[in-house]
Chains A and B, each alone.
Chain A
Amino acid sequence: MLNKKTLAKSTINNPTENFNQMLLLDSHAMVVESCDTLFRVNNQEPATVWSPFIESIFGYLWTLKTGTPEVLFSRVEEPFEELQGFYDFTFNSVTLSGKKYILWTIFDYTMLYKEFQRNQQRMNELELQRQNLNSKIHYIIRKNLTLQQLILSKNLGKNSMLLKANNLLLKNIFIDLEQLTDLVKYKYVGNWVDRFSMKEVITNIKESFENIRNQKITIDISKRVNQLKIMGDQARLMYILYDLLSLSNQTSSNPTICKIEEHEAMHPDLIIRFTILNPCLKIANIDTFINKKEFSVEDDSFLFRLNLVGKLIELQSGKFHEIENLEQGTRFVFEIPFAIL
Chain B
Amino acid sequence: MISTKVILTGSFGVGKTSLFNQFLFNKFSERYLTTIGVNVKKKIIKVEEEELSILLWDIAGEISQDKVPNSYFLGASGIIYVFDVTRPLTYKNLTSDIDYLKSKIPGVKVKVVGNKKDLITPQQLLELEEELSQPADIYSSAKTGENVEALFEILGRAILGKEA
Contacts and interface: CB of A to CB of B under 8 A. Distances in A.
Contact of B37 (A59, A60, A74): A74
A132 B69 contact: no
A127 B57 CA distance: 24
A121 B61 CA distance: 12
Interface string A70-84: 011111111100000
Contact of B55 (A52, A117, A138): A52
Contact of B34 (A71, A124, A131): A124
Nearest to B12: A124
Contacts of B72: 73
A75 B37 contact: yes
12 contacts: A52-B56, A53-B40, A73-B38, A73-B69, A73-B72, A75-B38, A76-B37, A77-B36, A113-B37, A116-B36, A121-B34, A135-B87
Interface string A258-290: 000000000000000000000000000000000
Given A72-B71, A121-B34, 7 more contacts: A59-B75, A71-B74, A77-B35, A77-B37, A113-B37, A120-B34, A128-B32
Interface residues of A, number: 32
Consensus secondary structure, chain A interface: helix
Nearest to B60: A75
B36 A79 contact: no
B42 interface: yes
Interface residues of B, number: 29
Contacts, number: 81
Which of A52, A55, A73, A138 is the most central at the interface, judged by chain B CB atoms within 10 Å of its CB?
A: A52
Contacts of B87: 128, 131-132, 135
Given A60-B74, A71-B71, A135-B88, A52 B40 contact: yes
Contact of A76 (B5, B13, B38, B88): B38
A227 interface: no
A77 B71 contact: no
Interface of B: 3, 5, 12-13, 32-42, 55-57, 60-61, 69, 71-72, 74-75, 86-89
Which of B32, B35, B56, B71 is the most central at the interface, judged by chain A CB atoms within 10 Å of its CB?
A: B71
B88 A75 contact: no
A79 B41 CA distance: 9
B5 A56 contact: yes
Nearest to B58: A77
A304 interface: no
Given A52-B55, A55-B42, A60-B74, A75 B86 contact: no
A120 B36 contact: yes
Interface string A124-166: 1101100110110010000000000000000000000000000
Nearest to A90: B71
A116 B37 CA distance: 11
Nearest to B84: A131
Nearest to A80: B40
Contacts of B86: 132, 135
A86 B89 CA distance: 29
Given A132-B86, A132-B87, A57 B74 contact: yes
Contact of B69 (A56, A74, A127): A74
B25 to A, nearest CB: 14
B55 A55 contact: yes
A56 B57 contact: yes
A138 B131 CA distance: 13
A53 B40 CA distance: 6
A131 B89 CA distance: 8
A90 to B, nearest CB: 10
